[in-house]
């Protein structure tokens, strides 16, 4: 990796970490949006593995009743692995543009509903096991195609009636499962070999610095402000993905 590409990658992970620190999502989307113009998608996804893993663990630290939350989300977390493995190879295939455009459109629609204060119905507890499993499998398939973990996991988590901190922790848990599943797939395909693994480890530092700054900002905003910026960020990220999917490389 030349000096220019290295500096751009470092600044990308700094920005992606900041976005994740503020709203709890966005590291893969921001990183893939920028790094995808510099390198093949599978290589960009491999660079994300270590920063994504560590920052998602950090995101879960301090969440109240984490064990109970994990048990509640178990169908979602397990099925993420199944969906990602079923979609193995999509990230390196030729049809990722359409999947990315569809994901972008879904993000824009979800953000629009959120900004319009449209409330999705709360999922009854008796339906969480099968709806969580279905959501996890779909999230895994989309992860395998785009290396973005948000849809449909985040909308589903928003229907569980979680507090702000619990929601951020639940997203971190879901994203961690997606990261581990994707790393397993990329490793099996040889995308994590040699310098890429070291590059992913080096990307951790700017990602952590950015996330620390983002966390400091998040603690100082009101819940209403947090919610508005959350959906605005999803709108921007979704628009960027939609544009990339339609415009192509």
Is residue 144 predicted with pLDDT exceeding 80? yes
Number of structural domains in the chain: 1
Give per-residue pLDDT as tens, 164-178: 788 888 998 999 999
pLDDT tens-digit readout, 170-208: 998 999 999 999 988 888 877 777 678 888 889 999 999
Residue 210: the pLDDT is 93
Domain containing residue 57: 3-247
> CA 188 to CA 124: how far, in whole Å?
38
Q: Considering the entire predicted model, what is its pTM?
A: 0.80
pLDDT at 1: 57
Alpha carbon distance 120, 142 (integer Å): 21
Token pair 């709108």 is at which residue? Answer: 235
The pLDDT value given to residue 94:
54
Environment class of 73 (CB within 10 Å of its CB; exposed 0-12, middle 13-18, buried 19+): buried
């Amino acid at each position: 990796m030349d000096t220019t590409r290295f500096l751009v990658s470092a600044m990308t992970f700094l920005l992606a970490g900041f976005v994740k620190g503020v709203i709890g999502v966005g590291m893969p989307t921001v990183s893939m949006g920028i790094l995808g113009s510099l390198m093949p998608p599978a290589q960009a996804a491999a660079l994300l593995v270590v920063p994504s893993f560590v920052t998602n663990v950090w995101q879960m630290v301090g969440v109240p009743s984490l064990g109970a939350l994990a048990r509640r989300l178990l169908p979602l977390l397990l099925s993420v692995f199944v969906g990602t493995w079923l979609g193995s190879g999509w990230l390196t295939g030729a049809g990722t543009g359409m999947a990315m455009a569809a994901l972008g459109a879904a993000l824009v629609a979800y953000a629009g509903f959120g900004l319009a204060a449209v409330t999705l119905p709360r999922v009854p507890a008796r339906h969480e096991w099968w709806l969580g499993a279905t959501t996890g499998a779909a999230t895994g398939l989309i992860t395998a195609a785009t290396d973005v973990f948000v849809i449909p996991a985040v909308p589903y988590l928003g229907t569980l009636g979680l507090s702000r901190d619990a929601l951020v922790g639940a997203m971190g848990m879901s994203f961690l499962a997606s990261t581990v599943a994707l790393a397993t797939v990329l490793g099996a395909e040889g995308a994590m070999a040699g310098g890429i693994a070291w590059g992913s480890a080096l990307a951790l530092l700017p990602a952590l610095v950015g996330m620390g700054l983002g966390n400091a900002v998040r603690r100082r905003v009101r819940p209403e402000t947090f919610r508005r910026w959350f959906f605005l960020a999803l709108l921007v990220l979704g628009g960027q993905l939609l544009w990339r999917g339609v415009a192509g490389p």
